[in-house]
Amino acid sequence: MIAELGLAALWLAAALAVLQLVAGATAVAGKGKGLSGVVRPVAVVQGLFILLSFLVLIVLFARTDLSVKLVALSSHSAKPFIFKIAGAWGNHEGSMLLWVMVMGLAGAFVALFERRLPERTMLATLAGQAFVSLGFYAFLLASSNPFERLNPAAVEGNGLNPLLQDIGLAFHPPTLYLGYVGLSVAFSFAIGALVTREVGPAFAKAMRPWVLGAWIFLTIGITAGSYWAYYELGWGGWWFWDPVENASLMPWLAATALLHSASVLASRDALRTWTVMLGVVAFSMSMVGTFLVRSGILTSVHAFAVDPERGTFILVLLAIYIGGALTLFGLRATTVAEGKQFNTVSRESALVINNVLLSAILAIVLFGTLYPLVTEAFDTKVSVGPPYFNPVGAIFFFPMLLVLMVGPLLRWRTDSLGRVSKPLIFAGLAVLAAMIALLIKGGAGLLPFIGMALAAGLAIASVLPLRGRNLRRTPLATWGMVVAHLGVAVTLFGMGCETAYKVEKLEAVKVGESTQVGPWQVTLKAVSPVAGPNWTALEAAMGARYGDGPEYTITPQSRNFWTPPQQTAESALLTRWNGQLYAVIGGEADGGRWQLRLWWKPFVTLIWLGGLLIALGGTLALVGRVASDIRRGIARVKIAERKEGMA
């Protein structure tokens, strides 16, 4: 009966979304005043029902209930418990249920905690959230029902794709979705503000923490996904410009731009329409990404079993929501009053340039991702990869880094470049020093060369806003900005260094033989069979020595899963402060030799460390903002009480 409970909860949540939409819309239209009181509670209950539905699915997977079709198709009783749980979202239906659950919970949280928006805008926002949720409820119920029964029940399940049987599956999709779908709140806020025409600093201040929260999760999700693909696929790459990766990068770029423009709107009441536009674009990119990933319309190294038929449904939803939102934007944008003005040299200007350049990069990624679809319509099959994305993106990314060095030092409204040029000399010197060091070392290509030099400059420039400040009294939000920008520098340096100086060795060696990769000497000690709960493997024991240092043992495996039958390469990593040794064992070559693939990747770990720093910066800013909001709220209550006391 439990599967039916999950399905019933899903239907109820969908029905509540209808109620939320109707009640919210009529209240906004000024009719049925009595209904306005139910919108918030309904949004909360809707969130609870969709949460219940999702928990039921997890229970079904935990028990391996083989009378449920989805469980039989993508799980197996012999799978380790953690992967049984995580397997609930390691398939299309479960993944979409997670999607709508995050959307429902985001709406519930807004209904519970958002108190700053004017009531009418709030109702329009919740109605908007319900409207978008409804489409995806319809999608789940009509074409992707996760609770469908199988009669008779299967004897054993088909098992989960072995590449997904990794701890990464437990963390990456939920964090990514919290960010991805969390942006729906920004979308609904934008719709709400457009409907009631209340676009101003109050709107930006209300929206900012939600966007920041989603953006933090998105950043962590992308970082975790990159590291997962890096060690799991066994190819040693950390970013392939694959459509599925781009699908997560595009909302991140839009959300990053949105965060910055929202801060201009909140502090200076400028960039009104632009901020609303970005709110629409950010979540639109999430939906485009969902379409690309879920329809399987593009070839991806991260793709799972997909059903192209479902793409049509999502495409229709996309057309309705994005088209509808843009139409509303077109109708209302001109009626939003202009914001405050600012000088050409000012913090606002820097943020505008940053925004436009981020949007340009977003356009480049979007075009590159969709291009294969366009050419396929003319019967030409192409794929687009690093030779396009890296140089074309860099044309806009590198200038953006320069603005990133200057912008945080500028004052709001008006400033002069002369005032900030003195501290920036340090950043300029860092760029020069890095260039000289890299030229002496040699061997770096143009893009990694510029990237590493700018990273050095940005590392210095990012902490410059702290100079002359009392560090204890510096607001947390400022610390957040400094840490996040420093994170960009750290990531960029890691990317440049790995690209320029990685060393690869591919060789067939006998047991007892050694090979050299970069500064490492690696000896193949033994190759022996090992067994896991649902796999057997050949495990190579290798001794690895860095220079004259001690010898470490690493054990890459070549695993054979039997449900479903598939071979995966489990790479072995050895992390030092200055990089990682990456080892993969291939097949047996003739003469008793084994294929080994080894990489030395200097400073590769900085890529993900920087990503975590960016997320940490966002967290500091969020904590700082929320704390000061709460303080202000308490102060307001106290003043009100005092007034009452006096009266």
3, 149 Cβ separation under 8 angstroms = yes
How far apart (Å, rounded) are the C-alpha atoms in residues 57 and 19?
25
In the complex, minimum distance from the CB of residue 177 to another protein, in angstroms, rounded to a whole number = 21
Residue spans of alpha helices (H) in 442-541: 446-463, 476-501
DSSP of 315-373: HHHHHHHHHHHHHHHHHHHTTSPP-----SSSHHHHHHHHHHHHHHHHHHHHHHHHHHH
* Beta carbon nearer to another protein, 124 or 384: 384
> Of 416 and 528, which has the nearer Cβ to another protein?
416
Comparison of 486 and 554: residue with beta carbon closer to another protein: 554
Shortest gap between Cβ of 413 and another protein (angstroms)?
5
Question: How far is it, in rounded angstroms, from Cα 595 to Cα 583?
Answer: 11
CB of 127 to another protein, least distance (A): 29
- State the CB neighbour count (10 A cutoff) for residue 374: 11
To the nearest whole angstrom, how small is the minimum distance from the Cβ of residue 541 to another protein? 18
**C-alpha to C-alpha distances, 169 to 216, 404, 444, 511, nearest whole angstrom:** 19, 34, 35, 34
> Which is closer to another protein, CB of 585 or CB of 613?
585
Least distance between another protein and beta carbon 492 (Å): 20
Closer to another protein by Cβ: residue 5 or 508:
508
The distance of closest approach from Cβ of residue 290 to another protein in the complex, given in angstroms and rounded to an integer, is 19
Strand ranges across the sheet with 503-510 = 503-510, 593-602, 579-589, 572-576
Q: How far is the CB of 181 from another protein (least distance, A)?
A: 25
Is residue 152 reached through a cis peptide bond, with omega within 30 degrees of 0 on the bond before it? Answer: yes
Cα–Cα distance for residue pair 125/192, rounded to 1 Å: 4
Of the two residues 198 and 507, which places its CB atom closer to another protein in the complex? 507
Rounded to whole angstroms, the Cα distance separating 191 from 175 reads 25
Residues that bind another protein (CB under 8 A): 161-163, 234, 274, 296, 298-299, 303-305, 338-344, 346, 352, 356-357, 359-361, 363-364, 367-368, 371-372, 375, 380-385, 387-388, 391-392, 395-396, 413-414, 506-508, 564-567, 569, 584, 586-587, 589-591, 593, 595, 597
Q: How far is the CB of 195 from another protein (least distance, A)?
A: 22
Counting other chains too, the contacts that 308-315 makes at CB distance below 8 Å and 24 or more residues apart are 309/143, 310/92, 310/139, 310/143, 310/144, 313/139, 313/142, 313/143, 314/139, 314/287, 314/290, 315/291
- Quote the least distance from Cβ 233 to another protein, whole Å: 10
Q: Which is nearer to another protein, 373 or 425 (CB)?
A: 373
Nearer to another protein, 306 or 476 (CB): 306
Q: Which is nearer to another protein, 163 or 456 (CB)?
A: 163
- Minimal distance in Å, beta carbon 506 to another protein? 5
Return the number of the residue (213 or 339) whose C-beta is nearest another protein.
339
Residues recorded for the chain:
647
- Token pair for 554: 């690493």
The C-alpha atoms of residue 450 and residue 431 are separated, in whole angstroms, by 9
CB 139 within 8 A of CB 181: no
The SS3 assignment for 62 reads helix
- Cβ proximity to another protein: between 223 and 563 the closer is 563
The Cα–Cα gap between 89 and 75 comes to: 11
CB of 588 to another protein, least distance (A): 9
Question: For residue 75, which of 568, 560, 534 has the smallest C-alpha distance?
Answer: 534
- Tokens 């639109």 found at: 284
Beta carbons within 8 Å of 560's beta carbon, 6+ residues apart = 535, 536, 537, 566, 567
507 φ, ψ to 5°?
-155, 150
Provide CB contacts within 8 A for 643, sequence distance 6+.
none
Cα separation, 399 vs 531, whole angstroms: 52
Smallest distance, another protein to C-beta of residue 310, A? 15
Contact 214, 255 (CB under 8 A): yes
The DSSP bridge pattern shows strands 514-517 and 593-602 to be unpaired
Q: How near is the Cβ of 393 to another protein at its closest, in Å?
A: 9
Nearer to another protein among residue 161 and residue 219 (C-beta): 161
Nearest approach, Cβ of 309 to another protein (angstroms)? 14
CB closer to another protein, 107 vs 159: 159
Instruction: Supply the DSSP string of 245-293, one letter for each residue.
Output: HHHHHHHHHHHHHHHHHHHHHHHHS--HHHHHHHHHHHHHHHHHHHHHH
575-579 contacts at long range (C-beta below 8 A, 24 or more positions apart): 575/605, 576/546, 578/602, 578/603, 579/603, 579/604, 579/605
Comparing CB distances to another protein, the nearer of 391 and 533 is: 391
CB of 245 to another protein, least distance (A): 16
Distance CA 155, CA 541 (A): 38
* Choice between 41 and 237, CB closer to another protein: 237
